[in-house]
Amino acid sequence: MRPGDLLILNNTKVIPARLKGTRKSGGQCEIFLLKSLTPDFLTWETLVKPARKIHTGDILKAGEKFLRVLNEGPEGIREIKFDFNSREEFINFLDDSGQVPLPPYIKNNSGNMRESYQTVFAKYEGSVAAPTASLHFTPELLKEIKNLGVKIAFVTLHVGLGTFRPVKSQDIREHDIHTEHCELSEATARLIKECKASGGRVIASGTTAARTLESFSAGPGEISSGVKETRLFIYPGYKFKIVDALITNFHLPESSLLMLVSSFAANKAGEFQHEEKILSRLLEIYEDCAKNNWRFFSFGDAMFIC
């Protein structure tokens, strides 16, 4: 990074989204919160197990609270309403009864790990997974960055499990991209405009920050503020309008995240007509990193594309 740059961080906070519950029959069940459907956090899209035994109208119990199944969708998706009076009451319930949805390869689910799977600037509850590129930042590192003459601003995008679902369509344009809640403040929009005007670079920390910035772009170098549910799917061929540099962890094959990174790499190389060549080069980098024992996944290494 260099003086005049602007670093954009996602200040979403991971919630204890995994709940253990019981069905009316007394059988055990699991409720995984995917996305809040209402501002008060009382109605959620969830993933339930065992799905074949949980249907519309059923009453479930988690902790000492009751939950009603409002609707059922495919692949274990259920819309569930919680019996609470306020968002604050619900958050307190999650803190007491929920488990942080750590990736399955992390076996340590202690209190310390719950804190580690959170960025140091996490502020607004709503994510079911951490924006992992930002796990690298410590208060000391952020101070060094500011001392270098780099400004820091925040956006909010609540990460859903849809982010990590593989793209199975032969034609990626047919992939049903997930919807995620995102927010960009007037203060952040103003800093972006100032950075662009002065010749600095807007650096997105992670694909979630990049997706938020591009979702609010009103044209090359133009940005708006506000709140929205974004369905923006970035894949090779997309021309970035706001993001000038990207910090990103390594991503799994067939993921929408890898497609976003491939698209950004093509933008930086000016190879809009040769996306396959860019993806091939990116996978060569992945292979080289694997041979040299770089760490992958949530607490893994990252790269800086500029």
CATH assignment of 18-99, given 3.40.50.880, 3.10.450.200, 3.40.50.720, 2.40.10.240?
Answer: 2.40.10.240
Query: pLDDT above 70 covers what percent of the chain?
Result: 89
106 has pLDDT over 80 = no
Report which of 204, 278, 205 is spatially closest to residue 241, judged by C-alpha positions. Answer: 204
Report the C-alpha gap between 31 and 101 in whole angstroms. 11
Report which of 12, 305, 5 is spatially closest to residue 183, judged by C-alpha positions. Answer: 12
Which sequence spans correspond to the domains of the chain? 6-14+113-305, 18-99
175 has pLDDT over 80 = no
At the fourth CATH level, the homologous superfamily of domain 6-14+113-305 is QueA-like (3.40.1780.10)
Residue owning tokens 């060094």: 144
What is the residue-wise DSSP string for 258-289? HHHHHHHHHHHHT-TT-HHHHHHHHHHHHHHH
272 has pLDDT over 60 = no
Element (H, E) at 71: strand 65-72
Please, what sign has the CA dihedral across residues 164, 123, 88, 26?
Answer: positive
Name the pTM for this structure: 0.87
Residue 264 backbone class (left: φ over 0; alpha: ψ -120 to 50; beta: rest): alpha
pLDDT at residue 162, as a whole number: 62
Confidence of residue 298 (pLDDT cuts 50, 70, 90): confident
pLDDT at residue 191, as a whole number: 98
Model confidence pLDDT, tens digit, residues 12-71: 999 999 999 999 889 999 999 988 888 888 999 999 999 999 999 999 999 888 999 999
Query: Angle, nearest 10°, between helix axes 275-291 and 256-269?
Result: 110
Report the C-alpha gap between 60 and 14 in whole angstroms. 24
Q: Among the listed ranges 29-43, 76-90, 101-115, 182-196, which one has the minimum average pLDDT value? A: 101-115
pLDDT at residue 270, as a whole number: 73
161 has pLDDT over 60 = yes
Q: Specify whether the CB–CB gap between 98 and 59 falls below 8 A.
A: no
Residue with the bigger pLDDT between 9 and 280: it is: 9
